[in-house]
Amino acid sequence: MNAVLHDGDKQAPAGGQTVRLPGSSRSVSLHEQLYRYADDLQLMIERNTELAADNDELRESSERLLESREELDAILQTSLDIHLITDAAGGILQSNPASRSLAPAEKLQHSNLGDWVEAAHMADFVALHSNVLRSHSCPEQGVELHLRRDDTQRPPLIVTARVLAVRRGDNLRHLHWILRDVTYLRETEFETRIASMVFKNAMEGVMITDVEGGILAVNGAFSTITGYSASEALGRSPSFLASGHQSHEFYQAFWSSLRSTGSWQGVLFNRRRNGETYPERLTVNAVRDTDGDILSYIAVFSDLSQQARVPEQEAFLSHHRDPLTQVANRQLLEDRLERLASLSRRSGIPFGLLRIDIDGFSRVNAEHGHLSGDRLLRAVAERLVAAVRESDTVARLGADDFVLLAPGMAQADDVNRLAAKLIDALRQPVHIDDKEIGITVSLGCAMFPEHGYDVDRLLESARQALDRARSGGGNRCEIFDASLQTPTLVPGSS
């Protein structure tokens, strides 16, 4: 600092020196000026410190923004969603790797997103596009669109689309489209709905079991065919349907095939709730998870008793039907008796059977011949079958000896009503050629377990009751009296 000192200036302060500022006639104390310069310097230092701090903060913010941008780019590059950057008109500017499920990047670049939208969904796309340009908003749940793929052999890509408008001030920079692939979800939902409809409405019975064989679900046709409701079947093993006509070796081969190949198909005989044995064609398939482990089994079966008979069914019937009348023979009757008796022992619900003879049948043979006698037996069998329920079993043991097994016939009143119905149905004349043959029948009833705890004893008790009815003049029914070992007449049955 070049200052000129003058002896004639005002009296100097302590220190004795004054200074005249350049360009000014005013003299000031050198000491005062130094303090002012020191203050200015301090202010400059503080300001510089503040600028340095602001610079550091800006640098850190820039670094954070750069890191965020890198993280965002990494997210977009690894995202399973399709991300497309388009201009305001929908022209595709950028795409991420997930967009390859739609088309290669080089085919997407410079194409318009609308060109990839299926015609049926174009209106939804236009509405979404227009809405974001107009209101800058997009439905939170997105809009479902179907997009055609570059590979025309593949089905359309189903996505939920959302779009964001990226702006700088009032100027639109670009549109950011986020397309979430829901193709598999929609296909699975569709397949589930179809499977549910098939399961519910199929004419075939369907049964789903766990790996151990416990029943998880059955459809309506299952109940129609077997007679068991869903509540009666769920949680049980399918073995409760077994008829006993398949051997232990059969089921060993069945499970061996199922475990080794995951499937089995064939014909077997099962038993309905009413005790009736029926043939069914069964297909069983294993359901596996993505690791190949078995989750469950699905069994689909059809009732062959209402269809054309298969060879297995013919073989079965040839051994279990009376060749003359086609009703059950002794073997089938005893089999059903054993099954019904076993069920009765578990449930405590009794049942009854009737033995039925044609009064004076030997006379019919003598007067009209054995051929007419055979035709009479067939007519009686047909009338018996027509008069009883489908769940009942009509059998012929020989000659004119018929048996009716009637589940649910547990009281004397039940016997009385059924006997009256049968007597009325069978007393009508039978027309054979030009002859009219009038008949009556006698009936004897025995109840399980009161009149016999095994098949042979039950049949014998019914025979004794029948003998008493015949000795009483016929055309009547009697129930075996266990206490007297003699039958008693059913009131009102004569």
CATH of the domain at 366: 3.30.70.270
Q: Is residue 384 located within the same domain as residue 439?
A: yes
Average pLDDT value for residue range 294-310 = 77
Question: Does 43 map to a domain?
Answer: yes
pLDDT of residue 2: 46
Query: What is residue 112's predicted lDDT score, i.e. its pLDDT?
Result: 94
pLDDT-based confidence at 488, cuts 50/70/90?
very low
443: pLDDT strictly greater than 90: yes
Its pTM stands at 0.41
Query: Residue 57: inside a domain, yes or no?
Result: yes
Domain ends where: 42, 68, 94? 68
Average pLDDT, the chain: 81
For residue 197, being part of any structural domain is answered with: no
Q: Assess whether 141 and 106 both reside in one domain.
A: yes
My answer on whether 97 and 62 are in the same domain is no
User: Same domain for 298 and 250?
Assistant: yes
226 and 106 in a single domain? The answer is no
Q: Is residue 397 situated within a structural domain?
A: yes
Tokens 């769920």 belong to: 234
Question: What backbone phi and psi angles, to 5 degrees, belong to 180?
Answer: -95, 125
Partners of 175 in the beta sheet? 86, 165
Has residue 175 got a pLDDT over 80?
A: yes
Mark which of 68, 89, 105 sits at the end of a domain.
Answer: 68
Name the more confident of 41 and 452: 452
Say if 193 falls within a structural domain. no
209/234 same-domain check = yes
- How large is the average pLDDT for residues 286-304? 86
For residue 267, the enclosing domain spans: 204-315
Based on the fold, state whether residues 344 and 401 are members of the same structural domain.
yes
Residues 306 and 342 in one domain: no
Indicate if 98 and 64 belong to the same structural domain: no
Check if the beta carbon of residue 354 is closer than 8 Å to that of residue 420: no
In a domain, 90, yes or no: yes
Question: Mean pLDDT throughout 69-94?
Answer: 82
> What is the number of domains present in the chain?
4
50 found inside a domain: yes
Q: What is the CATH number of the domain that holds 134?
A: 3.30.450.20
Residue 2 lies in a domain: no
| In a shared domain, residues 420 and 289 | no
Whether residue 310 has pLDDT greater than 80? no
163 and 239 fall within a common domain: no
pLDDT score at 4: 44
State whether 88 and 230 are in the same domain: no
Q: In the listed set 68, 94, 128, which residue is the last one of a domain according to the structure?
A: 68
